[in-house]
Amino acid sequence: MYDIERIRADFPILTTEVYPGVPLVYLDSAASSQKPLVVLEAMDDYYRHTHANVHRGVHRLSELATTAYEGARVQVAEFIHAPAPEEVIFVGNATEGFNLVAYSWGRANLRPGDEILLTEMEHHANLVPWQILAAERGITLRYLPFRDDGTLALERLDEFLTERTRLFSFTAVSNVFGTINPVRQLVDAAHAVGALAMVDAAQSVPHMPTDVVGFDCDFLAFSSHKMCGPTGIGVLYGRRELLAAMPPFLGGGDMIRRVTFDGFIPNELPWKFEAGTPRIAEAIGLGAAVTYLSGLGLEAIHQHEQSITAYALEALSEIPGLRLLGPPGTQHGGLASFTLEGVHPHDIADILDKSGIAIRAGHHCAMPLHHRLGISASARASFYVHTIPAEIDHLVAGLHRVREVFRL
């Protein structure tokens, strides 16, 4: 049974009063999730009792820290069903994962005339690294459109995937529309023309089961801080044969096997891509988050969010002047983006904040998507493991207050 009250008790911040007498209603998990106590305790325990650098010492603390750090890698590999832990690279965030692939694989393999296919609903993290690469290497970027309902125009895939396509990089779940995309179908389409497939899983890994073998993807990136883990760490999964052939992304300590004044020999996977002192405490925190989410069950989390999202979409649709963005029903992940006629999203968020309600307002790092919609910004409420219907009710009441303030 999904015991929501017990789950809410795991998150200390949910008892916070953001203003005197005004309790927090946190509806911004798509931007960054809150942390359960087990994650905070795991990181605190490391810093208090076992902190040392990893891989480089023979003393007891270094051995304990190394075991914990590499243990977290194993936990993550199992969580996403990666065939081997060395296919899990710890990076700073999902954004760094895309940059790593663009700079390392892209620079080594792409030539003028090659094409990369993206979609019109991508986060900037899956746009800008490829734009930089395109300007440098003379490759062409193409964008699969989305339909008016916020779903991808899958009927046009054959038009955009060609023999010139070298990579199809796309989001599993849109951070604006909430659209749940058919990952395996898109991967298969890429492979059918000889292209690689990379998945932006930042909005999917925290919310539903992830199986990189089942996806058959070549690369996949996600961030810890959106899945109950700490900031400052993310994951890049890559097929072993691809990672092994790619040159290092950053140079320095720990990513080398041998260095002379004439050059260097890179380390083995995964350390070839983890230069310098790594994110040790953050990896341990991510490992604790993975254990926590696994204990709740990703299917149970997904079902809970589907229920909450359906409740939210129905309630929001009854507010006069409110326009919901994205698809209906089961194609919709755990968020609701919207506009309110006559009110800027920043004003919506500011007025809601006075009632303790935290939402996101702006372009959500997806400016091209908003431009395509003919708007500069939108408001977004996003949900997670601890969201309850009463918080949706607070949001709806808050939006009615917004309408009163603007005399709508």
Q: Which residues are catalytic?
A: 365
326: left (phi > 0), else alpha (psi -120 to 50), else beta? left
Q: Write the CA distances from 43 to 50, 217, 287, integer angstroms.
A: 10, 31, 10
CA angle, residues 149, 94, 362, in degrees to nearest 5:
50
CA angle, residues 106, 86, 267, in degrees to nearest 5:
70
Q: Which two tokens stand for residue 359?
A: 């939402």
* CA-based nearest residue to 104, from 230, 203, 236: 236
User: In 10 A of CB 28, how many CB atoms?
Assistant: 21
CB distance 148 to 140 below 8 Å: no
* CA-based nearest residue to 278, from 65, 131, 94, 12: 65
Q: Which two tokens stand for residue 299?
A: 């299917």
